[in-house]
Structure 1
Amino acid sequence: MAEPLIELKGVSKAFGSRVVLDRIDLTLYRGDALGIIGPSGTGKSTILRIIAGLDVPDEGEIFVQGRQRLGSIDDVPDSIGIGLVFQQSALFDSLTVEENVGFYLLRHSKLSRQRIRALVNEKLEMVGLADIGDRYPAQLSGGMRKRVSFARAIIADPDNPKDRPEVLLYDEPTAGLDPIASTVLEDVIRQLQCVNVGCSSYAIVTHQESTVRRAVDRLVFLYEGKIQWEGSAQEVQTTDHPMIRQFASGSTEGPIHATG
């Protein structure tokens, strides 16, 4: 059995009177490539924020390598590094690519500017963006901005191995991109799992079939605050589960109610 890295047990979360997660159980294992799918507004991004320690559940328990997390990531650092790649890239428009990728190290490490630049260039090469460190986000395409955010998520202080992310969380990484740009990013996600950057496990929130097919091994389907189905990426093509069939076909007929 693979080692459980992060476990959510009976986790609930509400915003006002709206319950978005209702006593869910979810485990992310070492080496996992987990996809989280489901209709919009069903709490998928909230799960990522809770895993990352940015949000605290109203009920339930979170365990990181078997040790219970109490509070947010600001209260007690986790035993493993967790990086979050936001849906909108979340780059600073006034900073260059180099300054964006090296932002954490520039402010929280004792590394020289020259060494940080070398680390930034190394991570940019990993995501296929060598020699763009002097550009600004406005000069980049949407796909390039996404890859810059990937590079920022995996950079770490080599003098502090605990900073290295072992888990990466992607919030709709290919949303709004054309099929070719999506393929490039899906390949990058897989490559980052294989190269020696520490991030051996990841979870992806996605709506795109190509991302499920190319970058996911295991899937959970979230609806009305609960995990309604779990299986392999291959099983999603053959299952008779009515919610999966409706979601995959985009039909308005079935147990999932249209929200838009």
Structure 2
Amino acid sequence: GTIYWKGASLVDIQAGRHPKHLRVGMVFQQAALFDSLTVGENVGFSLYQHSRLSGEQIRALVTKKLAAVGLSGIEDRLPEQLSGGMRKRVSFARAIMEDPLDPADDPQILLYDEPTAGLDPIASTVIEDLIRGLKDQQGVCETYVVVTHQESTIRRAGERIILLAKGKVQWEGYVSEIDQEPDPYVRQFFSGSVEGPFQVVE
């Protein structure tokens, strides 16, 4: 298949045949923080590398974004000093970072890759609520895509669902439709049954 972003194919964008920036923020499954950098340096990394902002201005933006994800006052800590859930939230703060001098590069969509993988149920709930909460905050993009296999994440953080299996879209709908949906893929996925179109690999 072909992926399109704002009417242009991803292949053309990557090849430089289309002028539009991707403007995508990414939250990786394992947070992907730089272990040798502090939290503040991780969150502000792109600005330190590419922005014309002063160090003081960047630090102020870092403080703002950390507060947005509920992590005020940890700028000087190293990733190894944080829990898994905290590291994940630091990666959220980095993904929503913006440059006030170059708003054309600010993310318009956030991609979350298995955001609750490896987290306990309580930490997962915090992350799921944060995903929904961030889109309602001023200055944070409203569109996001979550890749997940966790039912709680789908129900708490999702709205529109696309169920992929065997390389194809098997079902498309909304969270509110899950419990009444007769589609066999939906029924098997949300019931956890070994019987159905999803094949169990032993």
Report the TM-score, using the length of structure 1 for normalisation. 0.73
List aligned pairs for 1:123-142, cutoff 5 A. Answer: 123-142=65-84
Counterpart check, 1:78 vs 2:16: no
> Could you give the per-residue CA deviations for residues 151-174 of structure 1, whole angstroms, max 9, x where no partner exists?
000101111011211100101101
Q: What displacement does 1:74 show?
A: 7.1
Q: Which structure shows the higher helix fraction?
A: 2
> Could you give the per-residue CA deviations for residues 67-119 of structure 1, whole angstroms, max 9, x where no partner exists?
34444547456345211100000001011000100110001111111110000
Percentage of identical aligned residues: 57
Counterpart check, 1:64 vs 2:1: no
Kindly tell me: are residues 179 and 194 of structure 1, through their superposed partners in 2, closer, same or farther at Cα, counting changes over 3 Å? same
Counterpart check, 1:255 vs 2:183: no
Kindly tell me: are residues 179 and 94 of structure 1, through their superposed partners in 2, closer, same or farther at Cα, counting changes over 3 Å? same
Q: Which of residues 104, 107, 116 is equivalent to 1:174? A: 116
Structure 1 counterpart of 2:92: 150
Q: What displacement does 1:64 show?
A: 2.3
Partners of 1:106 and 1:116 within 8 A in 2: yes
Instruction: Mark the runs of 5 or more structure 1 residues left unpaired by the alignment.
Output: 1-10, 12-59
Partners of 1:164 and 1:198 within 8 A in 2: no
> What amino acid maps onto 1:130 in structure 2?
S
> What amino acid maps onto 2:92 in structure 1?
F
Counterpart check, 1:121 vs 2:59: no
Q: Which of residues 139, 142, 149 is equivalent to 1:200? A: 142
> Could you give the per-residue CA deviations for residues 25-59 of structure 1, whole angstroms, max 9, x where no partner exists?
xxxxxxxxxxxxxxxxxxxxxxxxxxxxxxxxxxx
Distance in 2, matches of 1:74 and 1:89, equals 28
Structure 1 counterpart of 2:161: 219
Structure 1 counterpart of 2:35: 93
Counterpart check, 1:104 vs 2:35: no
Task: Indicate the structure whose relative CO is greater, using CA pairs within 8 Å and at least 6 residues apart.
Answer: 1
Q: Which structure shows the higher strand fraction?
A: 1
Distance in 1, matches of 2:43 and 2:68, equals 13
Kindly tell me: are residues 77 and 216 of structure 1, through their superposed partners in 2, closer, same or farther at Cα, counting changes over 3 Å? farther
Partners of 2:27 and 2:92 within 8 A in 1: yes
Kindly tell me: are residues 213 and 88 of structure 1, through their superposed partners in 2, closer, same or farther at Cα, counting changes over 3 Å? same
Distance in 2, matches of 1:136 and 1:205, equals 27
Q: CA RMSD in A?
A: 1.6
* SS of match in other structure, 2:71: coil
Kindly tell me: are residues 86 and 73 of structure 1, through their superposed partners in 2, closer, same or farther at Cα, counting changes over 3 Å? farther
Aligned length: 201
Instruction: Mark the runs of 5 or more structure 2 residues left unpaired by the alignment.
Output: none
